[in-house]
């Protein structure tokens, strides 16, 4: 644990990060920006897993291992999303949300 | 000392996250996201999970950011300005997020966490043994599942991104040629 820092301060920072991600998810109109906001949200939750593991259950490893799994799933999700965005750009020449009406492969 | 490093990291995280969701230039906001991810790796270093920090730097800062930059450059003109939401919508969403943040913080500060004072260091060996352990509480099955998921998403990404090139225009060309012939 970090000397002199309580768990409350770290959880405050991660909550702020989470809500910045939610704000970006709701206000952005571009598919790639939305993807970036999702990354922010996922990262905030991963820090929560790690910090709670370290502060409350220091002998366990579950939090670390779950965060490794979350990072792996996030990487897979990003690869698929980028593939979908590039395919969409080929078909309708735009990645704005308002132009996206077809979702058929 | 660690205290000040944490505060510096926290300010860096929040400022660059705000910049990432509000910057008008696409590529700049990706770079701000990169700063955020590096700050998160710094937090992992501070709470002594070196392996996780290394994963964060390689997978996120090295892999995902490069992938997003690739897609930005393929899809946009490099200095393209983004369309921004209306001010009323921004204010509304900002108020909703502030409300949600208030609820979160009230819940967190009302809860009494039973913190265990410790300065253990988790080695990579422990994480690897736990991941590959067959015994109760081991993580061998999810580990294998994740490997299958990564393979499936890799194949899926290739199949989706390969696509058929401009099917529509070819078809319309063929149709117009047939019409001309008729």
Q: Return residues 2-31 of A near B (CB < 8 Å).
A: 2-13, 15-24, 26-30
What are the residue ranges spanned by the domains of chain B? 1-85, 131-182
Express each pLDDT in B166-176 by its tens digit: 555 555 555 55
Where in the sequence is the domain holding A26, given as residue range(s)?
7-99
Q: What is the CATH number of the domain that holds A44?
A: 1.10.287.3510
- Asked whether residue A95 is domain-assigned, the answer is yes
CB burial of B75-88 (b: ≥16 within 10 Å; e: otherwise) equals: bbeeeeebeeeeee
- Asked whether residue A104 is domain-assigned, the answer is no
Q: CB of B173 within 8 Å of any CB in chain A? A: no
State the pLDDT confidence band at B178, using cuts at 50, 70 and 90: low
For residue B13, give the nearest of A17, A95, A96 by CB distance: A17
Task: Give which of A93, A95, A94, A91 is closest to A104, Cα–Cα.
Answer: A91
Express each pLDDT in B8-23 by its tens digit: 999 999 999 999 998 8
Say yes or no: domain B1-85 is CATH 1.20.1250.20.
no
Task: Give which of A39, A57, A65, A14 is closest to B30, Cα–Cα.
Answer: A39
Torsion, Cα A73 A82 B41 B58, to 10 degrees, reads 90
- ipTM for the whole complex: 0.90
Residue B182 pLDDT more than 80? no
pLDDT at B176: 54
- Asked whether residue A2 is domain-assigned, the answer is no
Q: Are A11 and B30 within 8 A, CB to CB?
A: no
Q: Return residues 49-78 of B near A (CB < 8 Å).
A: 49, 51-52, 55-56, 59-60, 63-64, 67-68, 70-72, 74-76
Interface test with B, best of A7, A53, A59, A79 (most B CBs within 10 A): A79
State the pLDDT confidence band at B180, using cuts at 50, 70 and 90: low
The minimum CA-CA distance between A27 and chain B, rounded to whole Å, is 6
Express each pLDDT in B72-115 by its tens digit: 888 876 666 777 778 899 999 999 999 999 999 999 999 888 88
Low-confidence spans in chain A with pLDDT less than 70: 103-105
Q: Tell me which chain B residues have a C-beta less than 8 angstroms from the C-beta of A49.
A: none
Are the C-beta atoms of B77 and B50 separated by less than 8 Å? no
Q: CB of A95 within 8 Å of any CB in chain B? A: yes
Mean pLDDT in residue range B136-143: 88
The minimum CA-CA distance between B175 and chain A, rounded to whole Å, is 19
Q: Tell me which chain B residues have a C-beta less than 8 angstroms from the C-beta of A95.
A: 75-76
For residue A29, give the nearest of B2, B47, B85 by CB distance: B85
Residue A30, beta-bridge partner list: A96
Nearest CA in chain A to B57: A71
Share of chain B above pLDDT 90, in %: 47
Number of domains chain A is built from: 1
> Could you tell me the sign of the dihedral formed by the alpha carbons of B27, B22, A41, A102, in that order?
negative
Q: How far apart are CA B58 and CA B40, in angstroms?
A: 13
Q: Are B94 and A13 within 8 A, CB to CB?
A: no
Q: CB of B103 within 8 Å of any CB in chain A? A: no
pLDDT at B174: 55
pLDDT at B116: 85
State the pLDDT confidence band at B165, using cuts at 50, 70 and 90: low
Higher local confidence (pLDDT), B151 or A4: B151
- Asked whether residue A105 is domain-assigned, the answer is no
Q: What are phi and psi of B81, to 5 degrees?
A: -85, 140
């Amino acid at each position: 644990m970090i000397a002199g820092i309580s768990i409350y301060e770290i959880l405050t920072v991660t909550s702020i990060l989470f809500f910045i991600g939610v704000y970006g998810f709701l206000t952005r109109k571009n598919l790639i920006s939305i993807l970036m906001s999702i990354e922010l949200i996922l990262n905030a939750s991963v820090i929560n897993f790690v910090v709670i593991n370290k502060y409350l259950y220091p002998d366990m490893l579950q939090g670390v291992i779950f965060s490794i799994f979350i990072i792996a799933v996030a990487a897979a999700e990003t690869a698929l999303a980028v593939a979908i965005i590039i395919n969409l750009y080929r078909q309708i020449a735009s990645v704005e949300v308002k132009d996206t009406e077809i979702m058929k492969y | 000392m660690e205290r000040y490093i944490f505060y510096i990291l926290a300010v860096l995280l929040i400022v660059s996250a705000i910049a990432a969701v509000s910057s008008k230039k696409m590529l700049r906001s990706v770079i701000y996201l990169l700063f955020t991810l590096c700050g998160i790796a710094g937090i992992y270093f501070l709470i002594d999970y070196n392996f996780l920090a290394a994963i964060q730097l390689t997978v996120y800062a090295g892999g995902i950011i490069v992938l997003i930059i690739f897609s930005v450059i393929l899809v946009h003109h490099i200095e393209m300005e983004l369309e921004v939401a209306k001010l009323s919508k921004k204010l509304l969403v900002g108020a909703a997020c502030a409300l949600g943040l208030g609820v979160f913080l009230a819940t967190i500060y009302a809860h009494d966490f039973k913190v265990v004072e410790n300065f253990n260091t988790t080695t990579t060996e422990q994480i690897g043994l736990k991941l590959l352990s067959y015994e109760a509480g081991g993580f061998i099955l999810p580990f294998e599942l994740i490997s299958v998921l990564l393979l499936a998403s890799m194949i899926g990404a290739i199949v989706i991104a390969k696509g058929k090139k401009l099917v529509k225009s070819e078809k319309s060309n063929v149709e117009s040629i047939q019409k001309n012939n008729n």
